[in-house]
Structure formats: structure tokens, C-alpha cells
Structure 1
Amino acid sequence: GSYRQNRLNLTTLLVQPISAVLAKKFVSLPEDAVQRDKCIPLQMPATGKKIISLNIQSVTTYKTISNVIGYLKGTVFPDRYVIVGSHHNGLNTYGGQEWASSTAIITAFIQALMLKVKRGWRPDRTIVFCSWGGTSFGNIGSYEWAEDLKRVLQRNVVAYVSLNNPVRGNSTLHPVASPSLQQLAAESQSFNCVEKTKCPASNVSSVQIQGDSDYFINHLGVPATQFSYEDIKTSENSSFLSEALFPVHTTKTEELDPSFSLHETIAKLTGQVTLQIANEPVLPFNALDIALEVQNSLKGDKVDIPQLLAVASRLRDAAELFQSDEMRPANDPKERAPIRVRMLNDVLQSLEKSFLVHRAPPGLYRNILYRLDERTSQFSVLLEALEHCKLHQSNETIQTALSEVLNSINSAQVYFKAGLDVFETTLAGKK
């Protein structure tokens, strides 16, 4: 891999997770100063002083990180890649459940595809299967691999399908997708629901997700999706600083999913989405959904900026025109001229690259289409800048964030318009 002396996603500070019980001792008042029947918030006392000594026995070690990569070459668009990513156990001795589920599902998917391959089937686009190493510590395996191949991946990857910790609970299915893939994820979820009358409403969202999709979303602007089973409380939590979580007892697979029905569902959903992206002549991405997501992220009093709203409106108009003038005709087999399909797919796979900002606050995605968590309905970078503005009584941060968001939306609108112009010019020349 590449030599790294400094990396933005690896801190130079030594961070030591501690238990909630120990944290309570650090910040709580002495017992004799608290009324036993009175409930007080957990906070640092206004007065008083504590001297704390922590005996940390961390040992610095060097380990070799290994990735396992395989691929099934496409027949029509072999230079376009759909990446399916899982991960295997790395340096830590805990957390075996997540990599076991991930590995089991991707293995079952590969086995199913090999049965089709033996009968002569091949996908239209190349499917790349990746099992990453070093996930728990800054996603080192995927980061270094993608960094080494960045120029190729920027041009050729059309989507990333994540299998990071797919069964972490058993109460609710939690689908996450880029705005352009939300419709596909929702349709796959509905299609795989056996009892149609009891199917839950689609709850696909674009929230930040943990795992190795990070580089593909934040540095390459690749559309991504992930299906996972979670407990309700877990799904409500933010993924901020997931690496600093204190290790907990890992629930055995047999306890979470004794019949492996949840694993089977994730395998079916992941497989269906992957095959649709790999085989559809026109990529099943929805351009209009991106524009709608942008408009929804600008709703509310906190980010009511007329200039942003105006640019977002123009983006929606351009997306609607693109959807009607180019997407619909291309879905007609009679209109699928090879040059038209290739040009259209090139536009579709690059839709989200316009939304990568240069700098994002710690813990937030550079891809502004993703929100911090389910409770956040607006652009996370703008909300963070507003909080910073209130705290420091300065509007410099908010002006920078507004400029980044404005440039992203404007760039996307220009990209749509340029795509339409290229279509008109090229097709007119062919006539």
C-alpha cells in the first residue's frame, strides 16, 4: 500500500474508551452532596476538583492488513464495476459477530452466482467482491486499496453495495441508500416481502453508515446502499466515532437469528440490488430523487436562505427535464442506441460527485447528501456551522458552509444541463 505519515481519518491523540460506570464517577457530585430522592443530570460539578489517574496498558503494534478481492467480468460494460464489500476479522479480538455475518452472506451470494455462471450466465457489468481487512481501525484496508486505485475507481465504479455488520439486531430492517438509489432499494424491499399485506412502509434514508463504504462515498462520490437488521434503539443512534465505542458482549448468531432467516433476507436484498445495477442497460438511478433530497434538506427555519432555495429549484427543473427527455426514452428498447446508453450511464454514475465538499466538520461526511442521523432532516454541514456560529459569535463558519453547499447544488444543476446539451448535439450529429 501507499506510505502514510499523516492521515486525516486517523487521530494523533490516544483515545481510550471507558465504561459508562467509570464516566459517571468522573463527572458526578460526591454522594454526600446529593439528595438521594433527587434526580440530577450527569454533568461536571460547578465547583470542586478531582484528580484522576488512569492506568492505560495499551501496546503499540504493527500488523499486516490483507484484503481479499475477486471479480466476475461483465460482457457488455466490462470496464464498469459494481463493488460488493464485506469485511473479515482484523486486529481486535472482539466483535466477531459482525464479520461472521458479513462473510457468510457474501459467500452465499458468490455461491449462488457461480451456479448461474456454470450455466453460461455473465453480468453486463463487472461485479467486484471485496473482503476488507482493518475495518475497525479507520477502514485501513478499503482506504488504502481505493487510494491506490483512485483514478481507475473514479472513472469506472458505478455503485458500492455494503455488507458491513448486516445483522446487528433482529427487530427492524434498516435500509440506507444514496438518494439516487433510494427508489431501487425501496422496490427491492417491497419485492422481497413475502406477505404483501403485512409489508412495512418503506423507510429508506440517506444517513451516514459505518464501515468500508466511507471512502467510496466521501472521496469518490459513488452511489451506495446497505441493508441491515438492527434493534430500534441502535438504529436511532448516530454513527459518530463508532471506533471509540467501548467493547460490549457480542451476541451469538444463534441468539440473534436462530433460523438464519434474517441473513437470508439480507442476502436476497443485496443480491437483487447488485444484479439490477449490474444488468440493467440503463443504470437504475433516479436523478430527480437527488434534487428532491436537496430541496427537503433546505426546509425549515434554520437554513431558509433564498439564494440556496432558488438554486435548488433550478436543480429540480433540470433533473425533471433530464428524467423525462433522456431517462424515459432510453428505457424503450427501440431507443437504446449504444452511444445513447453509454452517454446516459456516464452521466448517471457521476451524479453525486458534485456534492463532495472540500472540508467537513469531524464526524460528518464530505458527501453532503448524507445526514448525520435519522433525527437530522437538513444538511448536516449547515446545522453544524450554525451551532458553531452561536457558540463563537462569528458567521465566518456559516458563510464557508453556505458557499460549499451553494457551489455543490449549482455544480449539479450545471452538470445536468451540460448532459442534456451533449445529448442534443451528439444525437443531432448522428442524424
Structure 2
Amino acid sequence: MNQLIAALTEQTKRGWVPDRTTVFCSWGGSAPGNIGSYEWGKDNSVVLQSSAVAYVSLNYPVRGTETLRATASPTLLQLTSDIQRRQLLSCIRGGNCPGPNVSSLQLPGDVNFFANQLAVPTMEFAFEQTKGEEITSFLSEAQFSAESPETLDPLFKFHETIAKMTAEAILRLVNDPVLPFYPLDIALDVQNKLKDRSVVTQSLLSSASSLRDHAAFFQSETMRPANDPKERDPSHVRMLNDVLRDLEKSFIIPQTPPGVYRNLLYSLPGKTPQFSILRFSKEAVLHCNVSSKAVKHNSADKEVLCHSTLNQSLSLILKAIRSAERLVCFGLGLFENYPNDTI
């Protein structure tokens, strides 16, 4: 992080003026529960919710030397994949390459408050060992570090790679006229989370399909022209970026059961890729069915209550999808190349 700050500061001395602000933070109290990031985020939540466009994490970036792992929220998956792909291509030419590993964010860690409470898109690059050799636990990471950075990376080459990839992400986020976010990735992620047809309603599937179609058109017919200096209108681009910044916020729900993220786009770790609130409701219905068979007294009331919980979860997901679609349609209306009769 110090090298990133030094490099960016040197560029500003040479006259570089970024379009957006970068705030560098070093957190305390991470091991006991991400206390520093949570408290700072909470204290600045009003400004962050209205202005923050992304959170780039540098939490323990060299945990091994075998696999280059990249994690990102759906909004930033394509940017993260592009950066990692270029790094691996460069590595292939030089040899000694770590294997690729790009995934949607599952365990927020130090980004928890930003991703889960504010729905700020997040991304992180890290080197680690292969899954089969990972034996660390929360306790071992918190109190007994397996190997020091000097042991894992004596020449700091892996640290340098992470710094370069992180710097590229920061430069794209602060310099691109249109934020490098991709709504279609959100729409595809939503559809992927609705593959369990046993509980998903037709209205949910139809809404998810409609969101995908509008998101695809939005990327090709609104975002792409906005990146052309000849067609760029500053006020339109600003409103377009506001749409992109707020898209994940459509999936924030006010209250959730324990173990379920407020941001519906995040799945429970180690579970099937579906909405965590939907999995929770399904498990509740299953538990009710078992209880009803064991205890017949008031079984009908229990079944109604359980199915009500499931229907409420489905309703929250449907509301979130439709909210995201309305936002995308608003973005489509910013430019004249979208037919009015389809909005």
C-alpha cells in the first residue's frame, strides 16, 4: 500500500489529476472482527453511501505462492477478470505462473461493512495455496501466522504483482469516464441464483430474464457510446455513473435472519450458488415439515407460517430485481438511441 501511495503521489506531482478521489485506509482490530473498518465505515456511512463507487481490498495479499485468486462483487467481475487475464498472459511469457482463480465474492472479511451494509462494489487480489493444502482457521490466522511475508516471498515479487494489479484497478476506477461496471454480470448472477425451480415462481424468472435483456442493451447501447468523447455529454455521463454506482444497492434488504447477508447478491460460503435468504427459507420450510410430522398439534398453523416466510423471501427478491430493472431503464432513457415504446 505504501508503494501504491508513493506511485500515485509521484504522478500527481507530474500533473496527473484523477477524476475521482482515492482514500487509503489501514485498519486496526481486523482479527477480532474487522472492528476498524466497521467503525470507520459506520462513522462515514452517509458520505460513503452517496459517493463511494468501489472498495479495493489489500487484506493479507500473499497467503501462498501457488494460486492467484481474484474475488469481486458481480459489478466488478469483468474488470477483475480482465486484469488477472493480462497478468497471467504476462506471466506465461516469463514462466513460473500461478493458476487462475476468479470468483464472485463469498466471504467479505474486511470489506463486510462496505459490501453488506452499503452495497459498495468490492474487489481483491491475493496469492494463496491450492484448496487442498489450505488448513488455516480463523484462530490460526488471528494468532499464529503460518509464514511471514519474508519467508513466502523473500524478493517481494508476489507483493509487487498484487500491487501492480491493484494499481491498475484503482486507475481504471478513478480515470474511466464511465465506471468500469457491467450490469449484465449482475443480471446473469441473479439468473444463476434462481436455478432451483422447486421454489422459484414464474414471475421471478420472467423479471430476471427482463433484467438481463435490459442490462445487455444498456451496456451495448448506452455505456459504449458514453465512452466515446465525440458523443459524451458530461451531465448524462454523471447520471449514468450514478445508475451504475447504485445498481447493487437495489439488492439491499432492511432486515435479515442470522447468517443471511443484507446484500442479496452475496451467497453463503460453501453453499450452492443461490440467494442466501431463499436457502434459509427453504430450510425453515423443511424443518417445519419435519416438526409437523413429529408433532401433529397445530401443524397446519406451523406450515402456514413457514410458507409465509418463504413467500416473503420470494417477494423481497422479486422487489429487488424489479428495482434494479427500473434503475437500468432509467439509464437507458438518458440517451436518445433507446426506443421510447420499450421503456
For Structure 1 versus Structure 2, the TM-score category normalised by the shorter chain is 0.7 to 0.9
SS of the residue 2:25 aligns to:
strand
Q: Distance in 2 between matches of 1:377 and 1:249?
A: 31
Rg larger in structure: 1
Q: Distance in 1 between matches of 2:153 and 2:101?
A: 22
- Taking only aligned residues, the RMSD between alpha carbons, in angstroms, comes to 2.7
Matched, 1:419 2:331: yes
Q: Deviations over 1:60-90 (max 9, x none)?
A: xxxxxxxxxxxxxxxxxxxxxxxxxxxxxxx
Q: CA 1:361–1:324 in 2, change beyond 3 Å: closer, same or farther?
A: same
2:164 is aligned to: 268
Matched, 1:183 2:78: yes
1:396 is aligned to: 308
Give 2:22's match in structure 1, choosing from 127, 147, 150.
Answer: 127
1:320 is aligned to: 216
Contact 2:72–2:122 under 8 Å retained in 1: yes
SS of the residue 1:298 aligns to:
coil
Q: CA 1:283–1:404 in 2, change beyond 3 Å: closer, same or farther?
A: same
Contact 2:30–2:36 under 8 Å retained in 1: yes
Q: Deviations over 1:89-119 (max 9, x none)?
A: xxxxxxxxxxxxxxxxx11111121222222
How many residue pairs are counted as aligned between the two chains? Answer: 319
Q: CA 1:201–1:334 in 2, change beyond 3 Å: closer, same or farther?
A: farther
1:302, CA displacement in angstroms?
A: 4.7
Give 1:255's match in structure 2, choosing from 151, 155, 180.
Answer: 151
Contact 2:31–2:142 under 8 Å retained in 1: no
1:352, CA displacement in angstroms?
A: 0.4
1:418, CA displacement in angstroms?
A: 2.5
Matched, 1:228 2:126: yes
Matched, 1:368 2:264: yes
2:298 is aligned to: none
Q: CA 1:168–1:244 in 2, change beyond 3 Å: closer, same or farther?
A: closer
2:235 is aligned to: 339
Higher mean displacement: 386-395 or 346-355: 386-395
Matched, 1:217 2:115: yes
Amino acid at match of 1:220: L
Q: CA 1:212–1:420 in 2, change beyond 3 Å: closer, same or farther?
A: same
Amino acid at match of 2:73: S
More helix, by proportion = 2
Q: Deviations over 1:333-363 (max 9, x none)?
A: 1011111211111111111000112233333
Q: Deviations over 1:246-273 (max 9, x none)?
A: 8445322233223322111111111110
SS of the residue 1:283 aligns to:
coil
SS of the residue 1:130 aligns to:
coil
1:321, CA displacement in angstroms?
A: 2.3
Q: Distance in 2 between matches of 1:238 and 1:301?
A: 36
Q: Normalization by structure 1: what TM-score?
A: 0.68
Q: Distance in 2 between matches of 1:279 and 1:295?
A: 31
Q: Larger relative CO (CA 8 A, sep 6+): 1 or 2?
A: 2
Amino acid at match of 2:311: Q
Q: Distance in 2 between matches of 1:243 and 1:396?
A: 39
Amino acid at match of 1:207: L
Give the 4+ runs in structure 1 shifted more than 6 A: 197-201, 234-239, 243-246
Give 2:320's match in structure 1, choosing from 398, 404, 408.
Answer: 408
Amino acid at match of 1:212: D
Give 1:293's match in structure 2, choosing from 180, 183, 189.
Answer: 189
Unaligned runs of 5+ in 2: 290-305
Q: Normalization by structure 2: what TM-score?
A: 0.84
Q: CA 1:237–1:285 in 2, change beyond 3 Å: closer, same or farther?
A: farther
Higher mean displacement: 109-118 or 266-275: 109-118
